[in-house]
Amino acid sequence: MSLGGRTAADPNRMSILEHLEELRSRLIKAGLSVLAGFAVAYAFSDQIYEIVVLPAKAALPAGAKLAYTGLADPFILYLKVSVLAGLFISAPLVLTQLWLFVSPGLYRKEKKWVFPFVGGATFFFALGGYFAWRTILPFACNYFIGIGNQAGFTPVITVRELLSFELQLILGTALVFEMPVLVFFLTRIGILTPPFLWHFFPHSMVALWFLAAWLTPPDVLSMILVGVPMTGLYLLSIAICWIFQPKREPVPVETEPAPRAPEESGDGDTPR
């Protein structure tokens, strides 16, 4: 077998170097898609910034403003929010490149799931980001700033710390919301089964709640706001796995041939 070309036995089978070359090509195209999304988002970076920091601004006392301590912090924060928006804008193109990379190893009937995969993954990615921004961030900001207000402290929140926290929470939640789509894909190609997911349910809960604790601030309520939807997504993934698992063809049952009837002898006697 030649590492630089296809095998002689199967001309459609890709070699290791061809797989690496295909991966490099898909990564470059995905990176260009993100770069294009970043360029579009940067033109509206002011508006995107106001949307991203809205939960924190709404929780601040009247007259309080966000601060910065580094000379280049305002410029860097506009780059960060543009990258964040660029990831969501380019998500369909990036997911398409991912599908095109793995599709050569699929059967023909499995390749028809490209539109459900890309559409579903894009939807859940956006849903996860919106859930974090709309539900988790307002609660966390109101809770922690409210504690400081009750103690009589003056909030001095820097945009660098706020953006780092928000980007981690939004992107992390968006990626976790991809779980049902990933389970659907792995189910269709025969890797995951409902009994397997049920068997590892306790282990998965430990991993998911640990991830929820890492994504959220150090308080129990924020962790619950992330952990409960994660648990629901895992149960939804089990249902998806059960509904879309490949149908097994029935195994034909071999029947024993019927015993032959005894032949009558020519003189009318029955053989013993």
Question: To the nearest whole number, what is the mean pLDDT of the chain?
Answer: 82
pLDDT band at 7 (very low <50, low <70, confident <90, very high): very low
pLDDT of residue 33: 94
Q: What is the pLDDT of residues 117-138, one digit of tens each?
A: 888 899 999 999 999 999 888 8
pLDDT band at 40 (very low <50, low <70, confident <90, very high): very high
pTM comes to: 0.77
Tokens, residue 104: 């050569």
- Across residues 195-220, what is the average pLDDT? 85
Tokens, residue 18: 């061809």
pLDDT of residue 125: 93
In which residue are the tokens 């970076």 written?
45
pLDDT of residue 66: 87
pLDDT exceeds 80 at position 260: no
pLDDT of residue 146: 86
pLDDT exceeds 50 at position 25: yes
- Across residues 54-81, what is the average pLDDT? 87
Tokens, residue 122: 């894009």
C-beta of residue 214 within 8 angstroms of C-beta of residue 269 = no
Alpha helices in 43-113 (DSSP H): 45-52, 54-59, 73-89, 91-102
In which residue are the tokens 């959220």 written?
216
pLDDT exceeds 50 at position 153: yes
Residue 167 backbone phi and psi in degrees, to 5: -65, -40
Angle among Cα 46, 48, 51 to the nearest 5 degrees reads 115
Percent residues over pLDDT 90 in the chain: 26
Tokens, residue 54: 């809205």
pLDDT band at 3 (very low <50, low <70, confident <90, very high): very low
Nearest-angstrom CA–CA distance, 242 and 229: 20
C-beta of residue 201 within 8 angstroms of C-beta of residue 234 = yes
Alpha helices in 132-193 (DSSP H): 137-150, 159-176, 179-188
pLDDT band at 152 (very low <50, low <70, confident <90, very high): confident
State the helix-helix crossing angle for 137-150 and 220-244, rounded to 10 degrees: 170
C-beta of residue 53 within 8 angstroms of C-beta of residue 137 = no
Residue that wins the pLDDT comparison between 111 and 150: 150
Q: How far is CA 38 from the centre of its chain?
A: 21
